[in-house]
Amino acid sequence: MLDCLQEYNIDANIRLLASARSKGKVINDLVVEELTPESFKGVDYVLGACENDVTKKWMPWAQEAGCVVIDNSSAYRLDDNVPLVVPEINPEDIFKHQGIIANPNCSTIIALMALHDIDNLYHINRIICTTFQAVSGAGVKGISDLEREIQDIHAAPEAFQYQIAYNVIPQIGGFDENGITSEEWKMQNEGRKILHSPDLKVSCTCVRVPVWRSHSESIMAECDQEVDLNEIRQALSHSEGVQLKDDPDQLIYPMPILTTNQDDVFVGRLHKDPTDESGKTVSLFCAGDQIRKGAASNAVQILKKLIEKENQA
Ligand code: 2RA
């Protein structure tokens, strides 16, 4: 987030707040302060990146101080009074906030960046998606599990249920009674809210893969009308925050190694689903940096829009 604030030319006095454990740590020349109920006095904007229980604890303090919070947790994402925003898709929702704006889940942002133009053209009614999620999505322990297992294949995993090196794990989040994980539900629940498409149906399988950074997704989107691949390519090639990488003859397609540490979502492997004779289903592959566009950059882009609006007033 600090890097993104600099890259997006956000000129602000920045304070870093965290638990007592991190107090005194220095990050980018800024000393971390301990978060207390008084911390938010005089603060205009808060970028939150905590677990849900921690976020729920400090949010009332930030609200009391009159801050506008852009929150990366999932605690408020489905709250009717909290806009859930991807600035390229539903920027108008930002300004309906009542003090909290939620940043969507990383794999939801990446999928919707690839899909929102298709939805605008043909209205998507159903999505079938398989994700390939990088170990860094699970935080520092996810990275260290892969690092340690590459050195010693018998190292005990800490972040994941099983060895992740040379393996894939079809579980992200906990399972419900239907055998669907919390991560898998996010794509439908958050997708409906961001696209303003309350009937959207999503079937998703989320898979952890031994990739350091950047999530990839294989997606089939069933639309109300027959799709035209050239029209979709045309729309994607002009879509802000998207790069069309779709030239199989030249071996050009999205891969996580290409999207790491930048903001654009790459989209390619576009084709019509050969099993749908109506021609209404498009299949694609996309990749995006889940730490940048899937979290930090998306939050900073929302902040930038708030500041621009404030400067216009
Ligand atoms: C991941 N952080 O585990 C994401 C889940 N939202 O990849």
Query: What does the H/E/C string look like for the chain?
Result: CHHHHHHCCCCCCCCCEECHHHCCCEECCEECEECCCCCCCCCCEEEECCCHHHHHHHHHHHHHCCCEEEECCCCCCCCCCCCECCCCCCHHHHHHCCCEEECCCHHHHHHHHHHHHHHHHHCEEEEEEEEEECHHHHCHHHHHHHHHHHHCCCCCCCCCCCCCCCCCECCCCCECCCCCEHHHHHHHHHHHHHHCCCCCEEEEEEEECCCCCCEEEEEEEEECCCCCHHHHHHHHHCCCCEEECCEHHHCECCCHHHHCCCCCEEEEEEEECCCCCCCCEEEEEEEECCCHHHHHHHHHHHHHHHHHHHHHC
- Please indicate whether residue 286 is annotated as part of the active site: no
Predicted local confidence at residue 311, as pLDDT: 92
CA of 250 to the centre of ligand 1 (A): 32
CATH class, range 107-290: alpha beta
CA of 106 to the centre of ligand 1 (A): 7
Ligand 1: residues whose CB is within 6 Å? 105-106, 133, 137-138, 172, 183
Q: Look up the pTM and report it.
A: 0.97
Ligand 1 atom nearest to CA at 215: 7
Predicted local confidence at residue 9, as pLDDT: 97
Predicted local confidence at residue 120, as pLDDT: 98
Which residue in 106, 109, 101 sits closest to 241, CA to CA? 109
Ligand 1 atom nearest to CA at 105: 6
Which of 190, 290, 298 has most ligand 1 atoms within 8 Å of its beta carbon, as the pocket-test mutant? 290
Indicate if 107-290 has the same CATH topology as 2-104+295-312: no
Count Cβ atoms within 10 A of the Cβ of residue 22 and give its class: 0-12 exposed, 13-18 middle, 19 or more buried.
middle
Predicted local confidence at residue 228, as pLDDT: 98
State the Cα–Cα distance between residues 211 and 107, nearest whole angstrom: 15
pLDDT score of 313 more than 90: no
Mean pLDDT of 242-263: 98
Which residue in 306, 309, 313 sits closest to 83, CA to CA? 306
pLDDT score of 73 more than 90: yes
CA of 168 to the centre of ligand 1 (A): 15
ipTM over 0.90: yes
Q: Which residues contact residue 304 at a Cβ distance below 8 angstroms, ignoring those fewer than 6 apart?
A: 8, 10
- Please indicate whether residue 215 is annotated as part of the active site: yes
Report phi then psi at 146, rounded to 5: -65, -40
Mean pLDDT of 44-59: 98
Q: What is the length of the chain?
A: 313
Domain parsing of the chain, residue ranges: 2-104+295-312, 107-290
pLDDT score of 208 more than 90: yes
Ligand 1 atom nearest to CA at 172: 3
pLDDT score of 146 more than 90: yes
pLDDT digits (tens, 9 = 90+) for 77-120: 999 999 999 999 999 999 999 999 999 999 999 999 999 999 99
Considering the segment(s) 2-104+295-312 as one domain, its CATH architecture is 3-Layer(aba) Sandwich (3.40)
Average pLDDT of the chain?
98
State the Cα–Cα distance between residues 156 and 73, nearest whole angstrom: 28
